[in-house]
Amino acid sequence: MKLRRSCGILLHPTSLPGGRLGAEAYRFVDWLAAAGQSWWQVLPLGPPDEVGSPYKSPSAFAGWPGLLAEPDAPVSAPERDDFVARQAFWIGDWAEFAGGDAIADQVRFEREWRRLRVYAAEHGVRLIGDLPIYVAPGSADHRSHPELFQERFVAGVPPDAFTADGQLWGNPLYDWRALRAQGFRWWVERFRRTFELVDLTRLDHFRGFVAYWAVRADAATAKEGSWRRGPGKDLFEAARDAVGDLPLIAEDLGVITKAVERLRDELGLPGMHVLQWAFTEDTGSPHRLENHRENGVVYTGTHDNDTAVGWWGKLSRAERAATGLDPADPGWSLIRLAYSSRAALAIVPLQDVLRLGSEARMNTPGSESGNWRWRLDAGDLTSASATELRAAASAERR
């Protein structure tokens, strides 16, 4: 997918006033259009886990009924039958796992999401999703397809900028040999489902498709893991043969090797640049402004970063001076820097537009509490903020 020069906002639907789709979602689309934004990026749309994380969902395919504006809307038998016929690969597994009104809930989710997507498109706004690489332990996918997963090892990442012990995610790891023997069917269907819902998606932990960090299930920390080879290009070629174009953003953050960069480039995927990491003495850092790629996506910060204002507040006086940002308005200074990047697409978390501090942070990696809770107040989105953002975007031909 060739990205054109444009910009968008990162906001999960749970952060809308009320935390659901419906009127507030449509108002947000109206605000995006008024602000000159072409994209709305969300986090994964599946049911979250017990602490609210959408990255450890009990289903890699289902939409979360908790987002529904009309959770009790009637569903006809023909609607159910049509949905089951179109989604036969996974809906039976999910219905057996979730029970109750599971199929009707998915019909409702598809109905509401489709209407919102059409409305957004009519207003010049397209949707960016987020596709987690792993499934949750004990999820519908894990239970229904145990032959596709390893037994004694779980997922994580080695020590990085976020945590000294790495991150012990605990998700089941794929048995890539078993998946390959089936023509990667499970992943093909996952890509197919994803692009029924969004126009473009961020592919989480892209480096794991080259090599992934495997940790013994009984390990105390992720430091005890080791690298193992992933499926590489074969997976994506199989998916393209079955689905067609794969409009993906490669989340190429963390321990990135030449092999990871090579696969990203062979597939023609845009990677990510995060400006909070741009002010480093490492002249080779992909996050430094001069190293941004045109086929790339620049973020002021991601859902895993502090807000721009919160990040600024934790810098020393010398670190602040080295950024060259306006100390009177560092968050918006960072937004303008993102818009000036040669990267084709610039995405800004809404918290940065609203100049919010660490109290509005969405997630702190490695922390089990206090995440995924931030929510807009009704009235936070004003015509003045839309005008300000449109002017900043226009100034840089976004």
Per annotation, catalytic residue among 105, 251, 306, 352 = 251
Cα 30 from chain centroid (whole Å): 22
Task: State the Cα–Cα distance between residues 191 and 209, nearest whole angstrom.
Answer: 14
Cα 66 from chain centroid (whole Å): 18
CB 103 within 8 A of CB 22: no
Contacts of 69 (CB under 8 A, 6+ apart): 20, 21, 22, 23, 25, 112
- Amino acid letter for position 62: A
**Helix H or strand E segment including 346:** strand 345-349
**How far lies 63's CA from each of 77, 194, 275, in Å?**
20, 10, 31
Can 304 be counted among the known catalytic residues?
Answer: yes
Task: State the Cα–Cα distance between residues 45 and 167, nearest whole angstrom.
Answer: 23
CB 363 within 8 A of CB 43: no
- In this structure, the strands spanning 211-216 and 149-156 are antiparallel
Can 251 be counted among the known catalytic residues?
Answer: yes
Cβ count within 10 A of residue 127: 21
**Number of continuous H segments (helices) and E segments (strands) in the chain:** 14, 12
**Terminal-to-terminal C-alpha distance of the chain:** 18
Can 319 be counted among the known catalytic residues?
Answer: no
Quick one: which of 304, 14, 368 has its CA closest to 169?
368
Per annotation, catalytic residue among 199, 237, 261, 304 = 304
Please spell the DSSP secondary structure of 330-350, one letter per residue.
Answer: HHHHHHHHHHHSSSSEEEEEH
Per annotation, catalytic residue among 204, 252, 306, 352 = 204
Q: Which residues are catalytic?
A: 204, 251, 304
